[in-house]
Amino acid sequence: MAIKVYLLDTNIASALWDLNNPNHHDARLFVGALGVDRVYISRFVVAEILYGHKVFAGSDPSRRKIIEDKMRAFPLVKDVDKHTVEPYSDIRAALFGKYGDRDREGRMKKKRPESLVDETTSEQLQIQENDLWMAAIAVQHNMGFVSDDKMERIKKVWPAFDLIPWKPSPLTS
C-alpha cells in the first residue's frame, strides 16, 4: 500500500508559517497529524505568499521575514514539470466543457483554440489559475490537496481530485 502524501494550498501553508495567524495552531496540528515528512507545497504557494507580502508592503517586516524564512526552508516542494501538463489540460478542458460559454442550442460559442485560451476566465470557470495548477500537481502525483477552498467545480468534473478540507465546517465543529 502506497503512503499517502499531501500538497498544501496557500491558505494552510501561510497559517502554518505565520505565528500571528489566527489559524496557526490548527494548521500546525493538522499538518502534524498528516506527518510532516509526507507534506509538500508547490512553487505556486511560494509565489503567492511573496506576492502578498509585496502587495501589502505595510505589514510588519520582521513578521514577513520569519514567514519567508520558514517558507524557504520548507524541504518538500513540487514544481510543474512536463508531466503536469496532462492533468492540467484534462481538468481545465473538463471545466470548460461543463462551464464554458455556449449558444442557445448548447454548442460552444468559440471554435478557435486561441479564443478558448484567451477568453476562458477564472471567473467563468470559478477557479484561479494557480489553484488549477496546484490541483493538477496533486492529481499528477496522486496527492491529497489540503485547502479550505471548496473547489466544487473541480470535484464535479474530476471526482478523483482528493480535496481535503483542513478547517472544520461550522456545522461540524
- Domains delineated in the chain: 6-80+138-165 (3.40.50.1010), 85-125 (no CATH)
* pLDDT at 145 > cutoff 70: yes
SS3 92: helix
Residues 6 or more apart whose CB falls under 8 angstroms from that of 14 comprise 21, 49, 52, 67
Rounded Cα distance, 41 and 20, in Å: 20
pLDDT range class, residue 101, cuts 50, 70, 90:
confident
pLDDT range class, residue 123, cuts 50, 70, 90:
low
Average pLDDT of the chain to the nearest whole number: 86
* pLDDT at 113 > cutoff 60: no
Residues written for the chain: 173
